[in-house]
Amino acid sequence: MSRTFYVTTPIYYVNDVPHIGHAYTTLAADVLTRYKRLMGHEVFFLTGTDEHGQKVEKAANAAGETPLELADRVMKRFQALWEKLDISYSDFIRTTQERHKRGVSHIFSKIMEQGDIYLGEYEDWYCTPCETFWTETQVIDNKCPDCNRPVEKLKEESYFFRMSKYQEALLAHIEANPDFIQPKSKRNEIVSFVKEGLRDLSVSRTSFTWGIPVPGNEKHVIYVWFDALTNYITALGYPDEAGDFARFWPADVHLIGKDILRFHAVYWPTFLMAAGLPLPKKVFAHGWWTVEGQKMSKSLQNVVEPNMLIDRYGVDAVRYFLLREVPFGLDGDFSHAALVHRINSDLANDLGNLLNRSTAMINKYFDGLVQTPEELTETDSAYRAKTEEMVRQVEAFMEELAFSKALQAIWEVVSAGNKYIDETAPWTLAKDPSQKGRLATVMYCLLESQRLVYFLLSAFMPRTAAKGLAYLGWEGAPAADGLSWGMLREGTRITKAEPLFPRIEDKIE
């Protein structure tokens, strides 16, 4: 029986077009998904778009469209980018879909019926760009404490969620589940925030209409974050608690950016508690990308457009760079120079060269046919042991979502391969007919080690892995049962590889 795994990305607002930040979260979810699938899990990978709320309504008005026209147009751009980035999602949810609206109405009614949503009056501040409510004491000079943009005073009838009631239960949950909020520094921030005291949360609005109506009181629309967070269960068929919901809920991990941690680590768990549903196992907040040292913003015109990057450098180079350059959980800086450096040194030089050298030599010395190895020497065994250690390390690092460490572990074996060639000097062995068996063994070790490298790389760089494995004569998709040493068979035909990643020589502006 296969184990299930459920991973989600945020659902992205349709008032903005996709940029490198959105691509980052979605890519991380994809790599985790592909790795878990490789290891034999049945994975449900959810992404989608957040299409309701005042922000989207305003953007649509400004564009002279209806909100749904805007959403239809922009969600296609997200889907097109995910296709181009080789994102293997299982489902794409839109909050304007019937299945979602039905689930949101249901959970709202359920919480209302049991007394944790009540009608009151709201008089405080609202930040539309963040879709967030603030109190008098939280706003600073009429500005949002999160994004520093102007807030507006709201006084309206509103439904409130009794969030205060769940303060202690949430703290106890965080305490009892040290891995619930990651990374650790972020967990501490949330604990302090909750300890300061949770107020009841306004969960409806009357001043605009683009949203899901409050059941039984259509003057109100449901607060966009209440609506959006619920996507993680409506996509599984909730309120139907059989089927996918039973199979995949609670989520194994919600991947998000640090900007929206409070919604996922405070609001969402308390909504679920009130609805009597299990909480997600983990919420992981990654850091933010700046661009060439600056905050990415439309006004600075420095928004990095993933389509352009992929056209210029290739999809796998972009996938590699984003996850290798910055430890997941920390902030990072994007620069073209850093990307070109990674391509030239890690991909062209280390990875590509190793494959070229090895496949060229086996063609030269053995007509491209894998030979059965003799007994391994100490050097061979050390190389083999390092390769086997890589498989275990990657497993441990992926468990922690330490993508860059997993890639580092793989690259240690790539470097070891290049060093192994220098040490064993196959060209010298080839000159001595009595060393034929020894030469065959060296070739075997080189190719078998790389087979395992490409197996693991299939999660990160699916196209490169497929190419690498094709050169290595491996038929079929990589799978967990092929992750041990010694499966490359005698007689397998190895093709001389073309460079996987040509060096980039051009000067980058």
Token pair for residue 295?
């905050």
Q: How far is the CB of 486 from ligand ME8 (least distance, A)?
A: 41
Site mask for ligand ME8 (CB under 6 A), range 281-310, x = bound: -------xx------x--------------
Q: How far apart are CA 115 and CA 161, in angstroms?
A: 9
If the CB atoms of residues 236 and 504 are measured against ligand ME8, the closer one turns out to be 236
Q: How far apart are CA 375 and CA 62, in angstroms?
A: 73
Question: Binding to ligand ME8 by residue 30, rule CB under 6 A?
Answer: no
If the CB atoms of residues 228 and 354 are measured against ligand ME8, the closer one turns out to be 228
Degrees, nearest 5: CA angle 53-58-64: 125
The H or E element spanning position 364 is helix 353-366
If the CB atoms of residues 12 and 383 are measured against ligand ME8, the closer one turns out to be 12
Return the residues of window 159-198 that contact ligand ME8 according to CB under 6 A: none
CB 273 within 8 A of CB 279: yes
If the CB atoms of residues 22 and 324 are measured against ligand ME8, the closer one turns out to be 22
Contacts of 55 (CB under 8 A, 6+ apart): 13, 15, 128, 129, 131, 224
Q: How far is the CB of 334 from ligand ME8 (least distance, A)?
A: 9
The H or E element spanning position 248 is helix 243-248
What's the one-letter identity of residue 505? Answer: E
Q: How far is the CB of 53 from ligand ME8 (least distance, A)?
A: 8
Q: How far is the CB of 224 from ligand ME8 (least distance, A)?
A: 8
Q: Which of 70, 71, 174, 260 binds ligand ME8 (CB under 6 A)?
A: 260
Question: Binding to ligand ME8 by residue 22, rule CB under 6 A?
Answer: yes
Contacts of 312 (CB under 8 A, 6+ apart): none
If the CB atoms of residues 21 and 211 are measured against ligand ME8, the closer one turns out to be 21
Contacts of 259 (CB under 8 A, 6+ apart): 146, 288
Q: Which of 104, 229, 266, 340 binds ligand ME8 (CB under 6 A)?
A: 229
Residue nearest to ligand ME8 (CB): 21
Question: Binding to ligand ME8 by residue 485, rule CB under 6 A?
Answer: no
CB 228 within 8 A of CB 11: yes
For residue 351, the 8-state DSSP code is: I
For CA atoms 24, 129, 90, 241, give the dihedral sign. positive
Q: Which of 12, 210, 320, 383 binds ligand ME8 (CB under 6 A)?
A: 12
- Give the residues lining the site for ligand ME8 (CB under 6 A): 10-13, 16, 21-22, 24-25, 50, 228-229, 231, 256-257, 259-260, 288-289, 296
